Amino acid sequence: MLNFNQEWLVRKLACRVRELEEMELHLKRGDLTGMTRQEVDDFLRGQGAEAKITRDGYIQYKFLDKSTVMIRPNGEAIRTPAPKYGSDGRNINKGLRLDRDGSLLRTRDEFGNFIPDTHNTGEKLNE
């Protein structure tokens, strides 16, 4: 039987392992620049994503961890991380974006203002 400190450490390590697995998954998704829509569809579905078309004409690829890749009608990609929740149950990473490598983009300055040109990854499909 584990004591409180040991249980806490096991939970903390398990959480860190999940974070590293998510980062690895994002890195595997790779840069979509220059791919055709069909290549992107095949690639992301091959990574386990389910696709749907939104009413605004975006293609949304949602993964098991609930992270998403959205393809705009103009071919730009938007990546959002899997939701993370604070101890109070609030989503603590809502509105954040990922770059083409799966790293978090800083989307707001220290005053909470949006930073221009951080809404998408800079990836653009070959139309």
Could you report the per-residue pLDDT of 81-103, keeping only the tens digit for each? 888 888 999 988 887 888 877 77
Residues 53, 114, 103, 35, Cα dihedral to 10°: 40
pTM: 0.70
- In angstroms, the CA 109 to CA 127 distance is 33
Rounded to the nearest 5°, which phi and psi values hold at 23?
-60, -40
Tens digit of each residue's pLDDT (9 = 90 or more) over 23-51: 555 445 678 888 899 999 998 998 889 99
Q: Please, what is the Cα angle at 50 between 47 and 51, to 5 degrees?
A: 115
pLDDT at 73 over 80: yes
Which tokens sit at 112?
């909470």
**21 band by pLDDT with thresholds 50, 70 and 90:** low
- In angstroms, the CA 119 to CA 57 distance is 17
Q: Tell which wins on pLDDT, 118 or 78.
A: 78
At 104 the pLDDT is 80
CB 47 within 8 A of CB 99: no
Which tokens sit at 24?
């690895």
